[in-house]
Amino acid sequence: MNVPESLLDAMTAAIAAHLPLPAMPENLSLDQAYDLQQRLCQRRNGTAVCGLKAGLTGAGAQRHFGLSEAVIGSLYRDGALASGCRIDVLEGLVFECEIGVIIDASGQPEFLLPVVELAYLQYSHSSDLSAANIVAANVGADRYICGERRPWQPGLAATGICARHDGTVVLESSIDVSLGGVVSGTRWMLQQAAQRSIAIDAGMLLILGTCGAPVAVSKGQVTVDYGALGRVDFTGL
C-alpha cells in the first residue's frame, strides 16, 4: 500500500502534539503497518533505532485484536525522562509499569532498570482502532521514565511492583508478568526485531510490556516501587 507522505507528516505531528491521529488507511496488513511504523519513526529518530518496546502483551488484548502474539514499536530518542520528572495531565495519557533490559553485544540481558512508560494513542475515528493501526502508530509510544540500572542477575527475575498515587496503591504486579519475564521477553523481542530487519546494538534498551493494567495519569505524586530494582517517581500536573 502506497501511504502518502502527507499522512505520515500528519501522524508524526499528531503524535508529537498529543492529538488524535488522522483518518487511517483501511485494511492495512501487519507487514504494511510495520513498514509505516518504521517510516514514521525515522521522521522523529532518524535511521538509528535507540530502543524497542513491546505492546499488546496480554492474552486478552491479543484475542480481542485477533493476534497470536504481541507486537513491537520503537522508543523515541527524545522521549527518555528521569525519575522525579513532572508530567502534564492529558486525557487519554496512561502510565504502564514495565521492566527495562539493556542488552550486551550478544543480545543477552546486561542490566535491568525499572521503567514507567507513558503511552498515548487516540484516533479521530473509533473504527480505526485495530491491531494494524496500533502497530502503524508505533504502539502508542510517547515517553518513558527510567530508574537506575542494576546488573542483571537471575534473582531479580520475579521482583514485585507496587504503584501508589498520593500514597494509595493503584497497581500491584511483578516484572515476570509480561512475555514470561526478562530472559524469554528479551529473546522474543530480538526475534521480532530480526524479522523486521531492525538492527540491534549493544547498549540498546528494550522495555518488555506492561506488568498489570495501564493506569490513567492524573494530578498528584506517583511512586512505583520495584523492590530490589529501586523505584520510579513522577508528578502529574
Q: 37 burial class (0-12, 13-18, 19+ CB within 10 angstroms)?
A: buried
CB 156 within 8 A of CB 112: yes
**Long-range contact pairs involving 151-154 (C-beta distance under 8 Å, separation at least 24):** 151/110, 151/111, 151/112, 152/101, 152/109, 152/110, 152/111, 152/112, 152/182
Q: 91 burial class (0-12, 13-18, 19+ CB within 10 angstroms)?
A: exposed
pLDDT-derived band of residue 47, with 50, 70 and 90 as boundaries? confident
pLDDT in tens, 73-104: 999 989 999 999 999 999 999 999 999 999 99
Q: Closest by alpha carbon to 180, among 189, 191, 172?
A: 189
User: 0.85 cut: is pTM over it?
Assistant: yes
Alpha helix positions (H), the chain: 5-17, 30-45, 59-64, 131-136, 182-195
pLDDT in tens, 113-172: 999 999 999 998 888 899 999 999 999 999 999 999 999 988 888 889 999 999 999 999
SS3 of residue 108 by DSSP: coil
pLDDT for the residue 199: 85
pLDDT for the residue 27: 85
CB 151 within 8 A of CB 188: no
pLDDT for the residue 140: 94
pLDDT in tens, 198-224: 888 889 999 999 999 999 999 999 999
Please give the CATH topology (third level) of the domain spanning 5-236.
Fumarylacetoacetate hydrolase; domain 2 (3.90.850)
Q: Taking 70 as the threshold, does the pLDDT of residue 10 lie above it? A: yes
pLDDT-derived band of residue 1, with 50, 70 and 90 as boundaries? low
Mean pLDDT computed over every residue of the chain = 92
pLDDT in tens, 131-146: 999 999 999 999 999 9
pLDDT for the residue 230: 93
Instruction: Determine if residue 66 is left, alpha or beta; phi over 0 gives left, psi from -120 to 50 gives alpha, anything else beta.
Output: left
pLDDT for the residue 19: 93
Q: Closest by alpha carbon to 210, among 61, 31, 37, 89?
A: 61
